[in-house]
A and B are shown apart, each in its own frame.
Chain A
Amino acid sequence: MTDIIWGTVTKIISTNSFEMNVSHQKDTNQDSYKDVEEIQFSEIDIPSIPADENSRNVSEIEQNLKDKFVKCEISGRNSENILVCAVSHSGAGGY
């Protein structure tokens, strides 16, 4: 089973990475995660952010992700110990 964490995006680092405050973790996660994690996104399911990394820019990602609550499905850590995840928005704050 894939580990999943949720939290708010605090800083956009590059066109494929950001920093997040981890507020929720799936009960059955295999690993534990820090309160603040750097995320490299391998996939992003947010229509306003292009799937192709070359078509993205940091300000566009900031506009769409900064301060937002996201779900990260973790596939592992890269050589720099950064989490590699599929990222999507999560739930709704209201209806």
Chain B
Amino acid sequence: MWAPQIFQNDNSIYENLISGQIPAIIIPEIISKFDCENLCNKILLNQYITSGPGISNKIGTSLSSHIYEKSKYFSNSQKSNQLIQHIFANTKSPLLTMQKIIKNISQKQISTAMENSMSYSDAVIRIHQDGDSVHLHRDHSTFEMSEYSISNFGNQLSAILYLQSPIKGGELTIYQKKWNKLDEKMRLPDFGYSSEMVKNIPQTSILPVSGNMIIINPKFYHQIEYVHGPKQRISIGFFFGELSKHHLCSWA
């Protein structure tokens, strides 16, 4: 059965995710519900909520918003990183906790990627409201963001920490189908791919439980189901890949 695995100090789990043997790694309760609530209060008070491809509410810059605007991306990343640091001021940064866990799982060092002395975006906070969903897509910088040096990193994965669960919905569905070039004929003009692509493909579903961190292989097609109710689904995430045998770099 293709199902997410909970991390229990078994480092082979990292290789299993890269090879696609498992759809996701779940690391439960990396921060407390109390800390999640505090962070979400700060996030929702923030006035710098913007939109981007596939999402109507987010805080922070992501590469997909600037695929062909490299200098704008790096200048926005600087502001974005300061903003996220400001949100996490006076609290233990969940990004550091996430990096520590990734280091433990992969047995590699991890830091935010740099290019020409400029820092990539540390993370993006995504806020999904009642009625929001994210259509079927995959994340693949090697194919789509070849202008950026991170596109050369090997074994790219995606880390997400759920900070607030919606009352209903908002599950992450992952399909047992990895992107390949021929799939581009199923692209949709604005975002993502036709749902026809994953018809009859085995899938798994992950509940967005606040405090839980997940790591997925983003080349596998995935989508976020509709969020229902007045409570937003809030998560923070970034991508990471192998700069070298012993070092990972992250970006958003």
Contacts and interface: CB of A to CB of B under 8 A. Distances in A.
Interface stretch (B13-21, B88-96, B179-187): B179-187
A71 to B, nearest CB: 7
Given A67-B181, A92-B191, A93-B192, A46 B68 contact: yes
B144 interface: yes
Nearest to B188: A91
B29 interface: no
A91 B147 contact: no
Interface stretch (B48-56, B76-84, B105-113, B241-249): B48-56
Contacts of A45: 68
Contacts of A67: 143, 181, 184
Contact of B53 (A7, A24, A91): A91
Given A93-B144, A94-B54, A23 B187 contact: yes
Interface residues of B, number: 31
B193 A93 contact: yes
Contacts of B193: 93
A28 to B, nearest CB: 14
Contacts of B64: 92, 94-95
Contacts of B54: 92, 94-95
A47 B184 contact: no
Nearest to A47: B68
Contacts of A69: 184, 187
Nearest to B252: A95
Interface in B4-58: 52-55
A94 B144 CA distance: 9
Contact of B139 (A21, A46, A95): A95
B168 interface: no
Contacts of B147: 47-48
Nearest to A92: B53
A91 B192 CA distance: 8
B68 A8 contact: no
B137 interface: yes
A56 interface: no
Given A47-B68, A95-B53, A95-B139, A90 B184 contact: no
Interface string A1-25: 0000011100000000000010110
Contacts of A90: 187, 189-190
Contacts of A93: 137-140, 143-144, 179, 184, 187, 192-193
Nearest to B222: A94
25 contacts: A8-B185, A23-B186, A24-B188, A47-B70, A48-B68, A63-B146, A67-B143, A69-B184, A71-B189, A90-B187, A91-B53, A91-B191, A92-B64, A92-B67, A92-B144, A92-B191, A93-B138, A93-B140, A93-B184, A93-B187, A94-B64, A94-B137, A94-B139, A95-B53, A95-B139
Given A48-B147, A91-B191, A94-B140, 8 more contacts: A47-B68, A67-B184, A92-B137, A92-B192, A93-B137, A93-B144, A95-B54, A95-B137
Interface of A: 6-8, 21, 23-24, 45-48, 63-64, 67-69, 71, 89-95
